[in-house]
Structure formats: structure tokens, C-alpha cells
Amino acid sequence: MHIHFLDPYRPRTSPIHALDGRVKFVLVVAFILTASLTPVAAWPVYILLFALMLSVEILSGLGVGYVMSRALLALPFVLAAFPVIFTNGGTALFSLSIGSWTLIARAEGLSRFVSIALKSWLSVQAAIVMASSTPFPELLLAMRAVGIPRLLVGMFGLMWRYLFVLVDEALRLMRARSARSGQSSLAGARSGGSVLWRARVTGGMVGNLFLRAFERSDRIFVAMLSRGYDGEVRLLPLPPMTAVTWGALAVGLSLLSLLLSFGILFWG
Amino acid sequence: MHHSIEVDQLSFSYPDGHPALVGVSLHIAPGEKVALVGPNGAGKSTLILHLNGILTGQGRVTVCGLEVGEKTLGRVRAAVGLVFQNPDDQLFSPTVYEDVAFGPLYQGLGSEDVAACVTSALVAVSMQSYARRVSHHLSTGEKKRIAIATVLSMNPEVLVLDEPTAGLDPRARRGLIYLLRDLPVTMLVASHDLRMVSELIPRMVIMDEGRIVADGPTVTLMKDENLLEAHGLEKP
């Protein structure tokens, strides 16, 4: 049994899927930068960014619902920005008393918080569309093309390759555990054991998995050495960029810079 | 008297739609030793995982008089000892003792009973002196024996083994064959090791493409070279 559900890539035939991975990578980074550099409360720009994201989602054939629901995963992290509601100046909106504390929510803080939440939600959507429409090897190629160090890209590649192996291994361990989790026919024996004992068993499994991952990495390294690896990551040359790809990159980048300058000009 | 294993018209498809078992029926009497052979991907392991309800397909599976289902899962898993192909999957505790004790402890036995179960299981596989060893550092043959002990400690009625001799050196393999021969339990052994099968197991079931294609005395089936060849097997 192999695990594929971890892989976010969803094969479809869409212009977004067909677009060169390098262009997607650069545009997504540019989109995230634009979203984060856009001044606070520049609502029209946010709406335009959202419209842009929405059209890409529809064009990609992934389904708006799919992307949005996955993007909700970013919500817990937005909570980190929650305190800005109470720590910024501006008109007081309402106050909360917790014991002897009184927190005063202020308008400026609230708009700052909503801006941060929207920005991160949009950025996560962009990343999800990229990961779902680009096979991982193409993303690795894109990282290389924009000059991320080869060693780092090589490490990402290995992590991706062996993540699935490791998850498979963990699932097999868990399967072997449930195969031995039985009920005694003796009256009065309560199956399941204590929470502490179960935690210890789980701890043992995690430790085992770590040791195996460690040993496997050694074996992989030896296998690499025996095929001539000398510490230098050598990779195939990058495929050439076509005129269409350059065009898509230029259009995307100018659109994003236009939106950013618009935001900075009127709300900065 | 009930059969130890009764499988009736069992079908199962993996989530990607690939059919792994198609209308499989198999009956095994108490005390019987049966070999399950067939090429890679024939559905042997899938069938095995149905015997203790880790996978559930369409059809009926009854083990030691218990119909495998949500409610009987605990009892079924205590009755069927499943030994996985890779002993590393089975040994997940820091020491041999804790691994062998997992089943009885999970069942809620008292510490004296647990100790007795562990000792007798380790004695059965001749590994008494290994109780305090770290599972991780054992050889494959030793791990295999301990993996068998981890299920023997639950006193199962049925022992199901997936490729027990895979990866063993001749001496470890020989020792394991004697061990399996002397264990007085119902046994279903999935294996590619036809020499071991002809030596040890009187009844043989051949599976291919999710179906049972032959079921009969090992001596008779082993003589039918055409049958063996048609299903990717080789006469030993």
C-alpha cells in the first residue's frame, strides 16, 4: 500500500497546469510579495488581488471550493496577529474585561488585523494553486532556475522522495500495532491498557521511526557514493524558456507591480 | 465445531479501483496448516489483512467462530496472530520484552500473567535469553523469531504468516521451518518459498489476480508443472 494522498498535485488539463513551473513559481512569490507590501486597509487592491486569484482558480479547473477550503488551514496562524486589534491607536470600538484587565479594541487595530488575515489568506491560496497544478519535480526545477542553492534544492527533493516512504513505514507500524490490539476472552480484563502505557508505546514507535529514518539516510548516502556522488550536486540542464513563457511572466509581473504601485500611491 | 477460518465470496478493491480480491472462498479446519502461494500482486497479503479486519471487503469472513466486524474486532485480533513480512514493522518497542508483552498488556492481563505469556512465547521460539535486548539491533533471523513470539504471547488460535522465510540465511530458514513445524496451531502461510511449502505444509492454495485458482494437497499440485508455470511459480 502506498500513500499518494499527501501529494497536493492534482492532474488536470488547464492553462494554469500547462504554464511553465518557473513562471508559476516566480509569479506566486511576486503575488505573495505584492500582497504583503500592499498598505493596510487598501481594500480595493485586496479585492483586485482576490479577483485575480479567483480567476486563476477557475482557470485551473481545481475548483474554487477546493482551494478555499484548503486555504482555511492558514486560519490558526492568523490568530497570531489577533493582539494587534488591541495594541494600535485610533478610535475605541469596544472593550473586553478579563478579570482586572481591560482590553480596548480600536478601529485602526481592527483594520490592520483584517488586512493581515486577508493578505495571508490570499497568499496561501496562491501557494495552494501552485502546488496543486505543478508536479513537484517541476517546482524543484523552478527553485533551481531562480538561483536557490543546488544543495538546498537537492535536500528538498530528497525530503519529498522519502517523506512518502516514511509515512508508509509509519502506517505499517500502526497496522502491526492494531493487529496485536486484541481483547482477552477472560472476564474482567479491560483491553487498551493505561493512557501512560499507550503513550510509552507510541513514544517507542516514534523513536523507532527516527532510528530507521536515520539509518536509511546512511544507506541512501552510501548508495549515492557508490554511484559516484562526490558532494557536488550535478543536475540536468534547464529546458529553454519559450517566447510564450516569457510573455506570461512579463504580463503577470507587470500586472502585479501595477496593483502594488496603485496600492502604495493611494493608501501608502 | 466451527472452522478456524471461513472466507465466503470475499471481494475487495483498493481505493484507486484496482480489484485485489474477486470472490475468494477459503475454509481451513482447526489445526490445519495451509500454504498460500502465487505471484507478486496476486492478493495474498490483501487476503491476510482481511482475516483480522484490518481491511474489510464485501463478503463474509469468520475466524474461530467470530464473524469479523466492528464489534468482534478486539476478539478477532486476539484470536488471529498476524506475523508481517517485515519484522521491523512488527517490532516497535524499545526492547524485545516490551514488544512481546504488547499483546497481553493491551488485553489487560495482570503483570504475572503477562510475564508468563512472554516467557512461554520466547521459549517457544527459543529466544529466552533475548528478553532484555534491543529489538533494533537483532539480525533478520532473530527479528523474525521475535516477531513470531510477539503474536504467540497472545495465545492465538490461528497463526498467519506473510513470507516467513524471506531474507533469511539457510540456517535461520531451517530453524524457522522446524519452529513452524512444531507449533501446534492452525496456520496459514503466504510464501514464495515452495521448497519450504512442500516440506512443511500439506495443503496448498494458489492465488492469481485476486482469485483462488487451485486448492488441494501440496504433493498433487506441486506435480502439475503447467499449473505452477501458468501462475508464475516454479517447481522446487
- Whether B108 sits inside 8 A of A184 (CB atoms) is yes
Q: For the ranges A96-100, A115-119, B206-210, which has the lowest average pLDDT?
A: A96-100
Chain B partners within 8 Å of A179 (Cβ): 52, 54, 77, 82, 84
CA distances from B66 to A188, A189, B11, B157, B234 (A): 20, 19, 19, 12, 36
B112 touches chain A (CB under 8 A): no
Taking the whole predicted model, whether its pTM rises above 0.90 is answered as no
Q: Which cell is B29 given? A: 479446519
Residue A57 is predicted with a pLDDT of 92
pLDDT of residue B223: 92
Average pLDDT of chain B to the nearest whole number: 90
In the structure, what pLDDT confidence band is assigned to residue A253 with cuts at 50, 70 and 90?
A: very high
Of the candidates A183, A186, A208, the beta carbon closest to that of B74 is on A183
ipTM of this predicted structure: 0.70
Task: Compute the Cα dihedral for A68, A3, A172, A186 and give only its sign.
Answer: positive
Q: Is A193 left (phi over 0), alpha (psi -120 to 50) or beta?
A: left
A246 has a pLDDT exceeding 90? yes
| Chain B touched by A199 (CB under 8 Å) | no
What's the confidence (pLDDT) of residue A110? 85
Comparing A66-80, A223-237, B97-111, B217-231, the range with the smallest average pLDDT is A223-237
Query: Strand, coil or helix: what is B21?
Result: strand
| Closest to B5 in 3D by CA, of B56, B67, B55, B54 | B67
The alpha-carbon gap from A90 to the nearest alpha carbon of chain B, in Å, equals 56
Least Cα distance to A176 among B120, B139, B77 occurs for: B77
Segment A225-251 shows an average pLDDT of 80
Query: Which of A177, A180, A183, A186 to mutate to probe the B interface, most B CBs <10 Å?
Result: A180
For every residue of B30-48, DSSP letters joined together read TT-EEEEE--TTSSHHHHH
Chain A, 130 to 169: residues with Cβ < 8 Å from chain B are 169
Q: Determine whether A195 is exposed, middle or buried from the number of CB atoms within 10 Å of its CB (0-12, 13-18, 19+).
A: exposed
Q: Are strands B203-208 and B33-37 parallel, antiparallel or unpaired?
A: parallel
pLDDT of residue A1: 45
Query: pLDDT: is B40 or A100 the higher one?
Result: B40
Reading the block at residue A179, the C-alpha cell is: 493487529
Q: Which residues of B touch A184 (CB under 8 A)?
A: 78, 107-109
Comparing CA positions, the residue from B203, B232, B226 lying closest to residue B34 is B203
pLDDT digits (tens, 9 = 90+) for A12-34: 888 899 899 999 999 999 999 99
Nearest to B164, CA basis, from B187, B132, B138: B187
Q: Is the Cβ of B154 closer than 8 Å to some Cβ of chain A?
A: yes
pLDDT for A142-152, tens place per residue?
Answer: 998 898 988 88
Is the pLDDT at B190 greater than 50? The verdict is yes
What is the average pLDDT across B4-24? 90
pLDDT bracket for residue B2 (50, 70, 90):
low
**List of chain A residues whose C-beta atoms are within 8 Å of the C-beta of residue B91:** 208
> Quick check: B107 and A204 CB within 8 A?
no
Region A144-172: mean pLDDT is: 85
pLDDT value at A180 more than 80: yes
For residue B78, the chain A residues in CB contact (below 8 A) are 182-185
Q: What is the average pLDDT across A163-177? A: 87
| Distance, CA of B167 to CA of A254 (rounded, Å) | 61
Type of residue at A40: V
Give the 3-state secondary structure of residue B1: coil
pLDDT interval class at B9 (50, 70, 90): very high
Residue B87: helix, strand or coil by DSSP? Answer: helix
pLDDT in tens, A185-216: 776 777 887 889 889 889 989 998 898 888 88
- Cβ of A204 and B105 within 8 Å? no
Identify the pLDDT of residue A127.
93
Task: Tell me the C-alpha distance between B68 and B28, whole Å.
Answer: 16
